[in-house]
Amino acid sequence: MNEIKASDIRAWQNALIKKGYSETYLKTVNNQLSAIFNYAVQYYDLKDNPCRKAGSIGKSHAGEKEFWTKQEFKQFLVTVENKPETKMAFLLLYWTGMRIGELLALTYNDIDLEKRTISVNKSYQRIEGRDIITPPKTPKSKRIITIPLFLTEELKEYISHLYGIMADER
């Protein structure tokens, strides 16, 4: 640890930033590393904490998300009217509040049109060019969403045009 300099920390920080992690994740990871160095300064006679010299990265809190109004969403839907997959994806995102990764991981098995529910139990990510299905972001993210009747009808119509869909197919 004595050989790690502020320039090494900055190089590590820059590598993390280039990977596209969220601002809050960057802040958390940087704080954890700094805490390790603080511990070494206090209990193991490390001269100083190179993280302090390197400076902090990230943000403590994520910025507020902007949402479309109902009118803005309706205006957008007009632009994708001839693109059924895109329209269905945005209808589901808007009316259910699912994350994009949760939507992309959905299979036919996750949708119960009779009960008007969608089971969110996995998430999709693309990591280093590979498609990866993982558990949801947090344990509380596993949930069953009740969908409005009009959306159920839209979904039935959309699914009826899919040829030979398999139960576990995304």
Residue 116: CATH number of its domain: 1.10.443.10
Tell me, yes or no, whether 84 and 39 share the same domain.
no
Q: Which two tokens stand for residue 126?
A: 């693309």
Global pTM exceeds 0.75: no
Tell me, yes or no, whether 45 and 84 share the same domain.
no
In a domain, 24, yes or no: yes
List pLDDT tens digits, range 50-101: 999 898 888 777 666 778 889 999 999 999 999 999 999 999 999 999 999 9
DSSP single-letter state for residue 6:
H
In a domain, 63, yes or no: no
Q: Which residues pair with 58 in a beta bridge?
A: none
Separation CA 64–CA 55 (nearest Å): 25
List pLDDT tens digits, range 26-56: 999 999 999 999 999 999 989 999 999 898 8
Total count of domains within the chain = 2
In a domain, 123, yes or no: yes
Containing domain of residue 129, as a range?
Answer: 70-160
In a domain, 62, yes or no: no
